[in-house]
Structure 1
Amino acid sequence: MAGKVESGKRNPAKLLLRVYGPQVEHIIDRENELSVLRRLARKKIGPRLLGTFANGRFEQYLNAITLTSEDLKDPDTSKQIAKRMRELHDGMELLEDEKGGGPAVLKNWDSWLARVSHAISFLDAKILAGNLGPVKTPVDAWKERGFVCGTDWPTFKAMFDRYRQHLFDRYGGPKAVREHLVFCHNDTQYGNILRVRPDDKKSPLLLPNYEHKQLVVIDFEYAAANVRGYEFANHFTEWCYDYHDEALSFACNVDRYPTPEEQYRLIQSYVNHRPEYPHPGASTPVLTPVTTPTMGPSTPSLAPATGGSTSSIAEFMLDARVPPGGWKEEEKRREAQAEEQIKSLIEEARLWRPICSAMWIAWGIMQAKIPGLDPVETPAKSHGGDSSAVAAPEEEDDGDDQGFDYLGYAQQRAMFFWGDCVNSGLIKLEDLPEASPPMGHKG
């Protein structure tokens, strides 16, 4: 009898153990990340947080596969990603301090600036002095490529400040930007998106209307308040990367950037999707920072606002609910409204792309191991950490990233940044220093 009981026991549930990488507190605010994970758990978004300890945590294990770089270009997968984005943006309400703090991408830049400035000034000085030393490994390749930021640091920093002001001007000031903020993931690269494989053939996830829910976003280290356009800008640029390429894992392949048609398809799916459980403040996206008028609610109420059931004869006069001009005109109005929202979001994504590039440039510089770089002490804590060396060990990763060229990654993102600045008309290509590598990319 005991043997039968023993053999009938179910296997323990699988858990996922995450151990944090060493000394990345100046990049990732772990306390904030855990707070976000708890909020997400209450909304049933992402894997459940099961427990924490000093340098790691336990999460729900999901029977899933990670998307590949090629999956992002698949039309059906792309539309499913868009739906999940909409559910995150509308499903998670921002806290008041998150709204008041403005876009997280700019907060990150400001908090990382002292470290980045110290590191890149050190590299610039070595380049200008010609005191580079031998290229021993692929991560030393920066010595052969010139300025990491495409120009010297003061020139790059001045252009970032100018573009930041340009961005605020397009919205009408920082306060107007804050009105557009939603809760964003901010790092929707293919490695952070899983596709769950349902064990049960009768699982609702196999139904057409729920198939997109097979996708689960993980790794919320950078999740915070940003505008929708930033989320799209970040996702679109991630199309250009294959972090599993054995030779060029850091490289940005601009030919892979989504075409206008691919951008339209994803954002159209986003605009037309209606999450089941939006937070109380969620409504039609505030999508129009540039020239078009802000649109109103996407699904206007056509029934009389009675506040509850009554015996009024008017409730049964169904024909009276037909909108002016009839249903065909109403359908045309909604289609035109959706089209306006799609165009606005495409423009907003283009507008935030240089800021997105600048943040990941800073991230790459902070991740790089730079021999000979002295620590810099900062008066204020940067993104959740204390004042320690700029040259940070690499971030936690599933694989061995000792060979990842962080400075090469930063430099190629700098080319993206400068290309967008040229396209925006803030600087002419011929006005850039001659030492800068060729710039420009597809829009």
Structure 2
Amino acid sequence: MAVKIHGFIEGTQSEELMKLLLTLASNWGDVFDTSKLKVVHLSGAMTNVVYRITWPKNGSENEERTVLVRVYGEGSDIFFDREEEIRTFESISSHGHGPRLLGQFAEGRVEEFIHAKTLSAGDLRDPEISALIAAKMREFHNLNMPGSKNALLWPRMRKWVIEASSLCSPEQAKEFQLEILENEIDALEKELSQSDQNVAFCHNDLQYGNIMIEDETKTITLIDYEYASYNPVAYDLANHFCEMAANYHTDTPHVLDYNVYPDLEERRRFVQAYLSSTGQ
């Protein structure tokens, strides 16, 4: 089974993935012929490499079976707990949201393929699409997920600063002002943590590449839950507004253009759609 899938994944990973795909195909009653696998690299993922894999369905030449394979990016585990992400993925799926988890291998997983279009940066500014995103976000926030219900925002940022400090030289730590960052996190937590704050299960990464839409039904699906956790609802909304200032398909994807940050009317319209989506 040491078959390479068109050279995109090799060695032990390839063997594990091929065994997993063979098991899935057998469970579905498909004839799994590796020579007929089609592999397409999908752009847009930030921390992983994602592929669409298809093969003939039930031996048919006219129908195809399609799955999504996600290969984890090197070093991405620094930012989140991969085991916790998988538990979150499965729990969200059990609530009827997002794709189903079909299987795992050492460096990635196989997911149900969602037949929908990934949004572009410009789509976030479309009033109709924006209202649909707001309603879906409200649904997401209403999920009752297992585990701690405490906001993860502050300890997560402190952990990232510690990780950055361990990877930086003293000169780099000074250049990036990591010591000041620690103080800023403390000040922000003190200023922004209120007793009446609404904490709910948040996506925490609602950039356009993590939002899909089915054109005919106008159904929104949120994907990629690597950063999902309980957090202040206001943080998830504010983060989504910041994502409107991002374009990850440029030479400087990490630089946000706050000249295109949503104005007061756009933000008001989004929040109104969010609040009114449950009939209130």
Task: Give TM class, smaller chain.
Answer: 0.7 to 0.9
Q: In structure 2, how many angstroms separate the alpha carbons of the residues matched to 1:120 and 1:220?
A: 28
Compute the displacement of 1:41 (Å): 1.3
Task: Tell whether 2:163 aligns with 1:115.
Answer: yes
Instruction: Kindly indicate whether residue 202 of structure 2 is the aligned counterpart of residue 184 of structure 1.
Output: yes
Amino acid corresponding to residue 160 of structure 1 in structure 2: I
Q: Aligned in 2, Cα 1:51/1:20: closer, same or farther, shift over 3 Å? A: same
Q: Does 1:98 align with 2:103?
A: no
> Contact between 2:154 and 2:185, CA under 8 Å: does it hold in 1?
no
Structure 1: distance between partners of 2:180 and 2:190: 16
User: Counterparts of 1:266 and 1:27 in 2: how far apart (Å)?
Assistant: 29
Q: Contact between 1:62 and 1:196, CA under 8 Å: does it hold in 2?
A: no
Q: Deviations over 1:327-353 (max 9, x none)?
A: xxxxxxxxxxxxxxxxxxxxxxxxxxx
Cα distance in 1, alignment partners of residues 211 and 258 from structure 2 = 22
CA RMSD of aligned residues (A): 2.3
| 2:130 aligned to which of 69, 74, 78 | 78
Quick check: which one's strand share is greater?
Answer: 2
Q: 2:181 aligns with which of 156, 180, 184?
A: 156
Letter aligned with residue 188 of structure 1: L
Runs of 4+ aligned residues of structure 1 deviating over 4 Å after TM superposition are 6-10
| Structure 2 counterpart SS, 1:25 | helix
Candidates 204, 207, 227, aligned match of 2:232: 227
| Residue 273 of structure 2, aligned match among 253, 269, 272 | 269
Question: Structure 1 vs Structure 2: percent identity of aligned residues?
Answer: 32
Residue 269 of structure 2 aligns to a residue whose secondary structure is helix
Q: Does 1:167 align with 2:219?
A: no
Q: Which residue of 2 aligns with 1:316?
A: none
Amino acid of the structure 2 residue aligned with 1:21: G
Q: Is the 8 A contact 1:192 1:219 kept in 2?
A: yes
**Consecutive unaligned residues in structure 2, runs of 5 or more:** 1-57
1:33 Cα offset (Å): 1.0
The change in CA–CA distance for 1:7 and 1:17 in structure 2 (over 3 A counts) is closer
Flag the 1:274–1:120 CA change in 2: closer, same or farther, 3 A: same
Shift of 1:156: 3.3
Contact residue 78 and residue 163 of structure 2 kept, 8 A? no
Higher relative contact order (CA 8 A, sep 6+): 1
Per-residue deviation at 1:60?
1.0
- Amino acid aligned to 2:259: D
Could you tell me which residue of structure 2 aligns to residue 248 of structure 1?
Answer: 252
1:176-215 maps to which residues of 2 (within 5 A)? 177=197, 180-198=198-216, 205=217, 211=218, 214-215=219-220
Equivalent position SS for 2:267: helix
Encode CA deviations 1:345-388: one digit per residue, 9 max, x unaligned: xxxxxxxxxxxxxxxxxxxxxxxxxxxxxxxxxxxxxxxxxxxx
Q: Deviations over 1:384-442 (max 9, x none)?
A: xxxxxxxxxxxxxxxxxxxxxxxxxxxxxxxxxxxxxxxxxxxxxxxxxxxxxxxxxxx
Distance 1:8 1:165 in 2: 61
Matched residue pairs, number?
A: 223
Q: Which runs of 5+ in 1 are unaligned?
A: 1-5, 128-146, 199-204, 206-210, 276-297, 299-443
The structural deviation recorded for 1:110 is 2.9
Say if 1:88 and 1:8 are closer, same or farther in 2 by CA, change over 3 A. Answer: same
Cα separation, 2, equivalents of 1:14 and 1:94: 29
Structure 1 Cα separation of the partners of residues 172 and 162 of structure 2: 15
Distance 1:110 1:78 in 2: 32
Deviation at 1:28, TM superposition (A): 2.2
Matched, 1:26 2:62: no
Q: Cα offset for 1:195?
A: 1.5
Q: Paired residue for 2:15?
A: none
Are the aligned partners of 1:67 and 1:195 in contact in 2 as well (CA < 8 Å)? Answer: yes
